[in-house]
Amino acid sequence: MPAVLVLLLGILASVAIWSMETADEERIAKEKFQANTDGLCKAIQSRMLAYEQILRGGVSLFATMGDVSREQWTTYVKGLDVQQNFPGIHGLGYAAYVQADKKAEFLAKIRAQALPDYAIRPPGERSEYGPVTYLEPRSERNLKALGFDMLAEPTRHEAMVNARDTGKMAISAKLKLAAEPNQSQAFGFLVYIPVFTNGMPTRSVEERRVALRGFVNSPFRIDDLMNGFLQRYSEHMRLQIYDGEVASPEHLMYDQHSGAAEKATPLTDRKSVV
């Protein structure tokens, strides 16, 4: 019996020590995971705040100059060196707000700026248009987006109306970028800040609607935006990003490992934002 008791006590002691070590390892793993996720969230927030500031710089350019030419917009964006300093941004753009009775005048003005083939897409008569007017840098991909009427597409339209009516920055739901190749299934989102005509009141929603001049905006490709964070924060993690608060396949924007986001379908009728 004494020998059996000693054996049992030894076994119990071993189990207790193993349980303590396992619990300690789990605690350390959880703390490391929490630190990584907190760091990743703060890094993303910090980067998006920096990106917001360069968009607001574009708005300030219109407030200062009144009318900004294509060359002046090019100079502004070139000075930022977007591709080097702001990974994830595909460009910095401006979309004019054009009412139907001003469409011909707008097209003539843009075509006179060394863009004789500029046209608003998709074709058709609408009461208002929000065509991509400037988009820098002038990469082959960005040039394909010129003329695309963002107000004609429901997801973009929702974000632009939100920005106009609130007078604040608005982020679209997930979508396929206009400059993305047809065969690509990668998703992104756009950020909009409204530009109002200098000197016009903007205190109420109605005043902001009357004073609206256009939108400074930037398209983001989610894969490119996240690549800069992965090596630092995603060790032993599987990073997934969803549009809104519901973690379901149709809301999935980005999946680091499986590429499931590329199989998800874009959303066109949701009010949640990225």
11: its two tokens: 């076994």
- So what's the pLDDT on residue 259? 45
Per the CB < 8 A criterion, the answer to whether 142 and 91 are in contact is yes
End-to-end CA gap in the chain? 67
Question: Mean pLDDT for each 10-residue chunk of the chain (274 residues)?
Answer: 58 66 75 80 84 93 92 92 78 96 96 93 96 92 91 96 96 82 73 96 96 95 74 68 81 69 38 29
Q: How far is CA 177 from CA 1, 15, 127, 141, in A?
A: 77, 57, 24, 10
The predicted model scores a pTM of 0.79
Residues 6+ apart with CB under 8 A from 201: 207, 211
The pLDDT tens digits of the residues spanning 209-234 come to: 999 999 999 988 888 777 766 666 66
**Which residues share a beta bridge with 240?**
255
- So what's the pLDDT on residue 176? 81
Q: How far is Cα 210 from Cα 201, in angstroms, rounded to an integer?
A: 9
Q: How far is CA 72 from CA 90, 135, 252, 256, in A?
A: 19, 12, 38, 38
- So what's the pLDDT on residue 39? 80
Q: How far is Cα 23 from Cα 45, in angstroms, rounded to an integer?
A: 33
Residues 6+ apart with CB under 8 A from 179: 90, 91, 141, 142, 144, 145, 219
Per the CB < 8 A criterion, the answer to whether 132 and 121 are in contact is no
- With H, G, I as helix, E, B as strand and everything else as coil, classify residue 62: helix
- So what's the pLDDT on residue 68? 92
Per the CB < 8 A criterion, the answer to whether 36 and 233 are in contact is yes
244: its two tokens: 């809104």
Place of tokens 């820098």: 136
- So what's the pLDDT on residue 47? 82
The pLDDT tens digits of the residues spanning 110-137 come to: 999 989 999 999 999 999 999 999 999 9
